[in-house]
Structure 1
């Protein structure tokens, strides 16, 4: 059951990350006007860096049960809790709780912790 929880956390982490990237490209960046142009490009790449990072964490969560190492499992879950927990808290604070992102990221954290 714990392995399934980790894999579910990883799957949800990847879905949240992909949604984050797609929504930004379709709804945020087309309307954004930031000058100078290099600052706009930097902001876009930093935004998408978090998307890539979250996908990587999701892949690690899915892989953790198959690694056969309790230490690796704990480190992966610990990293996922920090990465997704920080993002969930930031999202909840920035949107005053009016965005589904923090709920989904909190679910990733809960599932990952259950998978320990």
Structure 2
């Protein structure tokens, strides 16, 4: 396993994640969501679309962290993978619950994934 290649992959994931969110927001999401036709009349639908787009970028950043952990401390990868996944999904679930005022059906599942992964660190 090449540490240099893993570091390169992690760096590419971080850059791709940032570009995906920034450029996607400006060139795709903004213009699409400005058109309030059909399903996009729903504020919840617009929220879910935007959130799903950006959560992809967050997922890529978490994967980059896990790749970085493989290089820096291979025995700790299991802990870092659980911690990164747990913290990310707990935050995503809480954000989804608060920002959708509980209307998004996925928030309990997202939060549950995060809390379960965090609980695994204590077991």
TM-score scaled by structure 2?
0.53
Shift of 1:36: 1.1
- Aligned mates of 1:42, 1:68 — CA distance in 2: 36
Does residue 68 in structure 1 map to residue 74 in structure 2? yes
1:56 to 62, 84, 93: 62
Q: Tell whether the 8 Å contact from 2:20 to 2:57 is kept in structure 1 after alignment.
A: yes
Bigger Rg, which one: 2
Relative contact order: is structure 1 or structure 2 higher (C-alpha 8 Å, sep ≥ 6)? 1
Structure 1 unaligned blocks of 5 or more: 77-116
2:41 counterpart SS class: coil
Structure 2 unaligned blocks of 5 or more: 82-123
Match of 1:24 in 2: 24
Match of 1:15 in 2: 15
Distance 1:59 1:68, change over 3 A: closer
- May I ask how many residue pairs the two structures share in their alignment? 73
CA RMSD of aligned residues (A): 2.1
Give structure 1 regions of 4+ aligned residues with deviation exceeding 4 angstroms: none
Shift of 1:63: 2.1
Shift of 1:72: 4.1
Deviation sequence 1:25-69 (CA, Å, 0-9, x none): 111122112221210111100111111000111121122112133
- Aligned mates of 1:38, 1:13 — CA distance in 2: 29
TM-score scaled by structure 1?
0.56
Deviates more, 1:30-39 or 1:2-11: 30-39
